[in-house]
Amino acid sequence: MALMADAARRARAIGMPVGTVGGTPETVARYRSIGYDFVAIGSDLGLLMRAAQSAVQALRAGDGGSPQPPNAGKRTEGGY
């Protein structure tokens, strides 16, 4: 974090806005406190992964096992 603070200080010294990406709200708050002008919270991929993990956990908690497709074990028209 010391190197990130130094980068923010140097950018401010020459009047250049500086930004970065933080993975958690706590990290973002820390970047803002050391002088970053704009900060993104997480990446698209990270947000998508967390949402997918949350959905899988909710499904597993609901039926006590692995999620199954609605037609699991049934033959469908056309072999799909």
What is residue 77's predicted lDDT score, i.e. its pLDDT?
Answer: 56
pLDDT at 24: 85
| pLDDT given at position 11 | 96
3-class state of residue 18 by DSSP = coil
Cα gap 53→26, rounded to integer Å: 21
At 69 the pLDDT is 60
pLDDT along the chain (80 residues), means of 10: 94 96 90 95 84 93 62 55
Q: What is the maximum alpha-carbon separation in the chain? A: 68
Spans of all domains in the chain: 2-66
